[in-house]
A and B are shown apart, each in its own frame.
Chain A
């Protein structure tokens, strides 16, 4: 469980996250909102790239904001980025192994753990293949494999399906759905593809202008009039 309370982030003159309080109970949680709503900034706070002005984030009872940024991976925080971040010059194996190396997991189980993560996401290419030579779908899968290797506790996925055709999103969706049971990690999924969000997420939180505007079971949220209006941009009262 992740409890966020009173989180505010200010950049010069802009407040991308404005007194946000939200709870991610477990399993796979959706985080949706229009562009510029503060979703990626929220991920950046969790990763430690952005220091919030006020507020707290408790992940499984621990104060995440107190940890040094690079130590959060060892604690179990994993993330993917909107833009592809798999390391082009390294092989699939090395890409996943480097996360394992910094995760604090046992060295002796590295080979098996890396192979298990690669198999889990359904990559069929040789683990020795260089990531630079892979297609967009396979690179995405490498990133997901990187996100689940070495005892993850919280997995942040930032628009993992962006730019993928529908049939490939289907496979990705199956992989994401299996993460909580297989690895015992809490997944937060940010995406604009509502079919992906409704297929993967039991609960969903909606943010707009850096504030939480709704949260609850995904099916209810996606029927909510407020949410639809926020997405269509006709909300004037807020």
Chain B
């Protein structure tokens, strides 16, 4: 009796494994295929201005990923993520001018320093939440804009403080360097996509493991998380550390990608736009961050460079998009699009079936 029980439960377990594995394997294969297509094929299919735009999409999807971890996973609204990106960009530019460390080390060091700053910015989240935390982080974004404007953001020259004699807007300063293996635009685009993929992997191993479950618990209810033994201080700071590290890495990529970053490219309102596009993309899914990157960087390019429309119209479109998402699909496009496509597919199949069925009936 017990032997058959054991056998049947073993069979059930094997079946459960089998049910799980094909879909996971298929998903992995699709993601890998997509990744290879984006890295290898895309640059040869489009022009160089598109490659630069896709590089920005990639970088901003890392920033959106950080926002998604903070808000989607833990429930902490940070409206200072683009400001943190500019801090990362600034740190990377200064380190690149002042030292000759290899580029991967530059990425890590920039990430680590931005991480420390991000944790400081996140400290109020231990006491504040919701609107108050959003306000504090937005104030941080405003402060960063002011400070970087005053201190003549990167401004070339040598050493840590090095300001060039000429005015910031001249392009005489050497650009922030790129890795020696990826100096050209296409090669550096590929480099950026690979680093982005690594950041998404880093997010995935967190979200799918102990920190992800602890964050979900905090998001659901802090008292319940405490009762479950979650050290709320540790896990909140961990989320800020992770998001800030990734944003710092993105800042380093951005500094090298544009070569001569300027304070004027980072406005306080960019942090708000990022939050809006991240919500439209979907904050509960890692895919949502990619959608957010596309909205944030590809759409302005399409509007201004391709269609000749003032890209400020995008703010209105993002506003309407945000309204749509908040009202109909809190999971964002990453959740809504596959669902709508599946519904559409079913509808088409039903139509075809009823048409062919109807055909038979009349014949």
Binding site for B on A (CB under 8 A): 47-49, 69-74, 77-79, 81, 85, 87-90, 94, 97-99, 101-103, 126, 128, 146
Contacts of A146 in B (CB 8 A): 228
| Bound complex: CA A98 to CA B218 (Å) | 12
Judged by a CB distance under 8 angstroms, whether B60 is at the interface is: no
List, in ascending order, chain A residues with CB within 8 A of B221's CB. 81, 85
How far is it, in angstroms, between the C-alpha of A13 and the C-alpha of B126 when the chains are bound?
28
Q: A90 — nearest CB in chain B belongs to which residue?
A: B216
Closest to B224 in A: A85
Contact B227–A79 (Cβ < 8 Å) = yes
Report if A89-B223 is in contact (Cβ < 8 Å); known contacts: A71-B229, A73-B229.
no
Task: Collect the chain B residues with CB atoms within 8 Å of residue A98's CB.
Answer: 210, 213-214, 216-217, 228, 230
Number of interface residues of B (CB under 8 A): 20
Choose from B16, B216, B223, B229 the contact partner of A102 (Cβ within 8 Å). Answer: B229
A147 to B: closest C-beta gap in Å: 9
CA distance A48 to B225 in the complex (A): 12
What per-residue 1/0 map shows which CB atoms of B150-163 lie under 8 Å from chain A? Answer: 00000000000000
- Distance in angstroms from B287 CB to nearest chain A CB is 16
A94 touches B229 (CB 8 A): no
Q: Whose C-beta in chain A lies nearest to the C-beta of B210?
A: A101
Q: A88-B220, A89-B284 are in contact. Are A47 and B229 (CB under 8 A)?
A: no
Partner of A47, one of B20, B219, B223: B223
> B123 at interface (Cβ–Cβ under 8 A)?
no
Contact of B232 among A70, A77, A85, A128 (CB under 8 A): A70
Residues of A within 8 Å of B219, CB to CB, are 87, 89
In the complex, B166 has a CB within 8 A of chain A: no
Contact residue among B16, B213, B223 (Cβ-Cβ distance under 8 Å from A94): B213
Closest 4 CB pairs of A and B: A73-B229, A102-B229, A98-B213, A85-B224
List 20 additional A-B contacts (Cβ < 8 Å) besides A49-B223, A85-B223, A94-B216.
A47-B223, A47-B226, A48-B226, A70-B230, A72-B227, A73-B227, A81-B221, A81-B223, A85-B224, A87-B213, A87-B217, A88-B220, A90-B216, A98-B216, A98-B217, A101-B214, A102-B228, A102-B230, A128-B16, A128-B20
Interface centre among A48, A81, A85 (most CB of B within 10 A): A85
The residue of chain B having its C-beta at the shortest distance from the C-beta of A131 within the complex is B220
On whether A102 and B220 interact (CB within 8 A), knowing A71-B229, A73-B227, A73-B229, the answer reads no
**A88 CA / B213 CA spacing, docked (Å):** 11
Kindly identify which residue among A49, A69, A101 contacts B213, using a CB–CB cutoff of 8 Å: A101
CB < 8 Å: which of A74, A88, A89 contacts B229?
Answer: A74
> In the complex, which residues of chain B have a beta carbon less than 8 angstroms from the beta carbon of A81?
221, 223-224, 227
A69 adjacent to B226 (CB under 8 Å):
yes
Q: Are A103 and B229 in contact (CB under 8 A)?
A: yes
Chain B binding surface, main DSSP class = helix
CB-CB under 8 A from A71, the residues of chain B are 229
Task: Give 19 A-B contacts (CB < 8 Å), ordered by A residue.
Answer: A49-B223, A69-B226, A70-B229, A70-B231, A72-B229, A73-B228, A77-B227, A81-B221, A81-B223, A85-B221, A85-B224, A88-B220, A97-B213, A98-B214, A101-B210, A102-B214, A102-B229, A102-B230, A146-B228
Of A70, A126, A128, which contacts B226 at CB under 8 A?
A70
A161 to chain B, nearest CB (A): 19
> Most chain-A CB neighbours within 10 Å: which of B20, B217, B221?
B217
- If A98-B213, A98-B214, A128-B20 touch, whether A85 touches B220 (CB-CB below 8 Å) is yes
Q: A85-B221, A85-B224 are in contact. Are A90 and B213 (CB under 8 A)?
A: yes
A97, B217: Cα distance in complex, Å: 12
On chain B, the residues within 8 Å of A99 by CB distance are 228-229
- A63 and B216 CA atoms in complex are apart in Å by 30
- The distance from the CB of B209 to the nearest CB of chain A, in whole angstroms, is 9
Inter-subunit contact B227/A87 (CB<8 Å): no
Name the residue on B nearest A71 (C-beta): B229
Cα distance A90–B213 in the bound complex, in angstroms: 8
Question: Contacts of B20 on A, CB cut-off 8 Å?
Answer: 128
Closest chain B residue to A104 by CB distance? B229
Q: How far is the CA of A97 from the CA of B219 in the complex (A)?
A: 17
CA–CA, A77 and B226, complex, Å: 11
B residues less than 8 Å from A72 (CB atoms): 227, 229
Kindly report which residue of chain B lies nearest to residue A102, judged by CB atoms: B229
Residues of B within 8 A of A70 (CB): 226, 229-232
Contacts of B231 in A (CB 8 A): 70
Contact with A along B255-267 (1 / 0, CB 8 A): 0000000000000
CB-based nearest B residue for A68: B231
Instruction: Kindly state the separation between the CA atoms of A78 and B227 in the bound complex, as whole angstroms.
Output: 7
Q: Which of B226-243 contact A (CB under 8 A)?
A: 226-232
Closest to B72 in A: A89
* Cα A70 to Cα B214 with chains together (Å): 12
